[in-house]
Amino acid sequence: QVQLVESGGGLVQAGGSLRLSCVVSGRTASSAAMGWFRQAPGKERELVAAISSGGNTYYADFAKGRFTISRDNARNTVYLQMNSLKPEDTAVYYCEGRGFAYGMIATKLTEYDLWGQGTQVTVAS
């Protein structure tokens, strides 16, 4: 059974940083397209960043210059480094995966077939 488990969320002051991790178990993640989404209360889940199996990346406009997505295939782990956090970044952050997607950057939620339970990020002003 494939599982995605996120960690690294928490409470941080505006301007601070957090690094989220997503560990994939049950299957090698090296061929998977991976992404981070977020969902704030009352809002739809939105893409934050995506990464292909080969390491190509895509960022939502609000994430450009502040967030960095990366992956360590040897550890079956995807990361989201978040710097210069703002109160509007407060949300539950979800790791998403799509298996056997060599070279694909998936930017739509419907393109993913695996997801984690989410990790809460709260940015205090």
In 26-106, which ranges are E strands?
33-39, 46-51, 57-59, 67-72, 77-82, 91-98
For the segment 15-31, the average pLDDT, to the nearest whole number, is: 91
Per-residue pLDDT at 24 exceeds 90: yes
Spatial CA neighbour of 101 closest among 53, 69, 57, 56: 53
So what's the pLDDT on residue 27? 78
Q: In the numeric block, which tokens belong to residue 40?
A: 């704030």
| 15: Cα within 13 Å, side-chain hemisphere | 1
So what's the pLDDT on residue 52? 96
Rounded CA gap, 60 and 121, in Å? 17
Mean pLDDT (the chain) is 95
Per-residue pLDDT at 19 exceeds 90: yes
